[in-house]
Structure 1
């Protein structure tokens, strides 16, 4: 897991480097897919977002529109990290839908 102590912010010429992350907040809490050398620019493709939701886990499905909010219990049909879109099942009516992972439920 990457912590603030693992990071150093430097000004560098990176026009030839794709998907570079430039803010520590984008990186802290993630882990690397492979070894990252000291001084190497961090790229999104090198990092793994920790899973916040595991397949089979109970979730809360929240839909908001025009000031109205509806919340129903659900079950994750896929695992995913923050920002991932996963399939979930509404346990009240059995329907499946796609939902964005926002945060882990408090235990």
Structure 2
């Protein structure tokens, strides 16, 4: 009988060792850790809900965590947030924290890549050029990387005039152009008649179109008289008496 117990005890010890090995195996340990994919998804969803380029073709991708990270599994859903004073840009650092069952916070970069059609100069454009179809073409570009913005259509703001020379192949940004038409024909305007330091304002209607600083004819609504003045803003025409 004694001889039978020793093999049984040995078998029990072997079984106990096997169970201990299973409990501490990488697979078992991994089940107690927060998955990296869940953290990245939380960060990506957070940015997607606030994406300034959501109306464009875009892609959002969170960066990887440090390979040495071992974060205990969160008992509830992890929460993403923006660090203090941070703004959502092309590349944004997003925090993800656990507040239930464990307490940890990690930070990871989230990149937004957005594409849209932008106007590109097909030839050198000197200052003063009024942009037309033969001057530009529409090209798909990564607009999220354009810090100065872009223009998508010649029909915006009544057209554009080049305010500084533009090189061939350059994406045309708003700071390179000015509105070609500041006041349109038939538009209601404010007529400012000035004589020295004295000025009088009247209501008028533009009988032609013009850009900032150009001469334009306007009709005085009260008198019916048509006079000529200079465009000072999108609604003001100044007449020097």
Q: Which band: TM-score by shorter chain?
A: 0.5 to 0.7
RMSD after superposition: 3.1
Q: How does 1:1-107 map to 2 (within 5 A)?
A: 32-33=131-132, 34=135, 37-38=167-168, 49-105=179-235
Cα deviations by residue, 1:23-78 (Å, 9 ceiling, x for unpaired): xxxx7xx853435643xxxxxxxx88521111000000001112110100000000
* TM-score for both structures, normalised by structure 2: 0.27
* TM-score for both structures, normalised by structure 1: 0.56
Contact 1:73 1:92 in 2 (8 A): yes
CA distance in 1, matches of 2:233, 2:197: 21
Where structure 1 has 5 or more consecutive residues not aligned to the other structure, the ranges are 1-5, 7-19, 22-26, 39-46
Larger Rg: 2
CA distance in 2, matches of 1:87, 1:105: 13
Contact 1:64 1:70 in 2 (8 A): yes
Label 1:105 to 1:86 Cα distance change in 2 as closer, same or farther (>3 A).
Answer: closer
Aligned residues: 74
Q: Return the structure number with greater helix share.
A: 2
